[in-house]
């Protein structure tokens, strides 16, 4: 008997965006004849970052962008290098491969990148808009705010998998859905929990210390999510949260971590964004839809953000 579940690869999901992005790059040829320029800063010796960089280069060039990797051997010069790129009108987008210092200084560097060139969507203005469920940068709702690319990629994956119900009004399309997110980093897990809750879901946000609940309240009465502490992390509490979860998303950066298959509700949607596979092979005996990696969709979102930044800049130019 064949198993009812299906594994869906990120490459398949990103295909729609690859086509959309490629034709947009073509359409802006009059203002960017050589293609938009993305600059990546690499200031660490992390082989994973190196791989991600070469992958970004290949993908972006394949869609008509220009990509330039700038290596900064002495991290103390990175800030200057970013500022120079901020000022350079040739540069459309900037990304930095983190961790650089591996501490709060990295958060400072995120804010050094000009928000007009911040393809990763890490600028405080974008984060605050996201947490406050504000979707535009201007009062006329013509300039869309930028979302951090990995959380956005997971949202797009959930749309592709039809967990988002498009019969419901935009902004409420996850109404009633229960999601578990195992990771609460400031880069992915926390913004992701907020985005899903802002769209109407009940989200159990799990980290190594505790479990929190993100919701817009009963009947989605709040315009943005609220957070409630459910208690310290325990397997019992995790299992309880999972027992009714329609979606389980993992992002634990460890090759030893495996999400317990027995906690997964039959027919749940399972997505892993960690570079380590957080689900056992047996996930396929429980999940209806399983997405083992998300990186390809993330890169698409990065390039899509870059086009949006260019679009916003054009729209902001006074005629
Ligand atoms: P991080 O170290 O900042 O955060 C890890 C999170 O996982 C923390 O919230 C931590 O409490 C939680 N955690 C760790 N062990 C746990 C456990 N046993 N149970 C419950 N929670 C646990 O890492 P990060 O920057 O969020 O990155 C996480 C992973 O996602 C990495 O593998 C990274 O490479 C990957 N990543 C992927 C993409 C992508 O596009 N696919 C983008 C960014 C990061």
Q: Same structural domain for residues 58 and 185? A: no
Q: Same structural domain for residues 90 and 168? A: no
CATH number at residue 244: 3.40.50.720
Ligand 1 pocket check: which of 208, 300, 301 to mutate, most ligand atoms within 8 Å of Cβ?
208
Residue 216: which domain range? 150-295
Q: Same structural domain for residues 108 and 163? A: no
Whether the upstream peptide bond of residue 199 has omega within 30° of 0, thus cis, is: no
Ligand 1 pocket check: which of 59, 149, 154, 251 to mutate, most ligand atoms within 8 Å of Cβ?
251
CA 158 to chain centre: 12
CATH number at residue 107: 3.40.50.10860
How close are the terminal C-alpha atoms of the chain, in Å? 65
- pLDDT at residue number 149: 94
- pLDDT at residue number 319: 65
Q: Same structural domain for residues 113 and 238? A: no
Query: Residue 242 and residue 59: Cα distance in Å, rounded?
Result: 36
Q: Write the DSSP symbol of residue 121.
A: -
Look at ligand 1, atom 33, and give the residue with the nearest C-alpha.
Answer: 274
Q: Same structural domain for residues 170 and 282? A: yes
Q: Same structural domain for residues 234 and 98? A: no
Query: Residue 38 and residue 95: Cα distance in Å, rounded?
Result: 8
Say if the ipTM goes beyond 0.90.
yes
Mean pLDDT by 10 residues, the chain (319 residues): 87 96 97 97 90 93 97 96 98 96 94 97 95 92 94 98 97 97 95 96 98 95 94 98 98 97 98 96 97 96 97 86
- pLDDT at residue number 113: 98
Q: Same structural domain for residues 164 and 109? A: no
- pLDDT at residue number 296: 94
Q: Same structural domain for residues 110 and 163? A: no
- pLDDT at residue number 317: 85
> What is the side-by-side strand order in the sheet with 210-215?
6-7, 289-291, 269-272, 247-250, 178-182, 202-206, 210-215, 226-232
Q: Is the CB–ligand 1 distance for residue 208 below 6 Å?
A: yes
Q: Same structural domain for residues 106 and 204? A: no
Number of domains in the chain: 2
Q: Same structural domain for residues 74 and 203? A: no
Q: Write the DSSP symbol of residue 259.
A: B
- Which residues does the annotation mark as catalytic? 149
Ligand 1 centroid from CA 58, angstroms = 25
Helix (H/G/I), strand (E/B), else coil: 11: helix
Query: Residue 248 and residue 318: Cα distance in Å, rounded?
Result: 46
What sections of the chain are H helices per DSSP? 10-27, 47-62, 78-87, 104-112, 124-131, 149-160, 189-198, 235-242, 295-316
Query: Residue 26 and residue 236: Cα distance in Å, rounded?
Result: 53
The number of CA neighbours under 13 Å toward the Cβ of 188 is 21
- 21 lies in a domain? no
Query: Residue 134 and residue 144: Cα distance in Å, rounded?
Result: 9
- pLDDT at residue number 1: 55
């Amino acid at each position: 008997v064949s198993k009812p579940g299906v594994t869906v690869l990120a490459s398949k999901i990103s295909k729609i965006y690859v086509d959309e992005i490629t034709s947009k790059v073509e359409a802006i040829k009059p203002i960017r004849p050589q293609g938009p320029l993305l600059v990546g800063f690499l200031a660490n010796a992390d082989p994973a970052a190196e791989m991600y960089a070469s992958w970004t280069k290949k993908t972006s060039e394949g869609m008509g962008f220009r990509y330039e990797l700038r290596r900064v051997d002495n991290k103390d010069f990175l800030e200057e290098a970013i500022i120079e790129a901020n000022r350079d009108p040739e540069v459309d987008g900037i990304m930095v491969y983190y961790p650089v210092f591996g501490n709060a200084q990295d958060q400072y560097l995120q804010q050094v990148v000009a928000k007009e060139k911040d393809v990763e969507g890490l600028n405080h203005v974008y984060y605050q808009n996201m947490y406050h469920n504000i979707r535009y940068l201007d009062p006329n709702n013509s300039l869309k705010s930028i979302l951090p690319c990995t959380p956005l990629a997971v949202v797009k994956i959930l749309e592709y998998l039809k967990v988002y119900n498009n019969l419901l009004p935009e902004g409420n399309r996850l109404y009633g859905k229960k999601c578990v997110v195992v990771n609460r980093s400031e880069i992915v897990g926390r913004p992701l929990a907020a985005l899903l809750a802002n769209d109407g879901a009940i989200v159990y946000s799990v980290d190594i210390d505790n479990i929190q609940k993100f919701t817009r309240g009963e009947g989605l009465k709040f315009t943005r999510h609220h957070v409630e502490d459910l208690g310290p992390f325990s397997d019992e509490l995790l299992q309880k949260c999972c027992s009714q979860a329609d979606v389980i998303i993992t992002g634990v950066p460890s090759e030893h971590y495996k999400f317990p298959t027995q906690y997964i509700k039959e027919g749940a949607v399972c997505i892993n964004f960690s570079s380590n596979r957080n689900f056992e092979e047996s996930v396929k005996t429980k999940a209806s839809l399983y997405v083992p990696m998300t990186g390809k969709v993330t890169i698409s979102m990065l390039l899509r953000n870059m086009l949006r930044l260019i679009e916003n800049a054009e729209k902001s130019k006074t005629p």
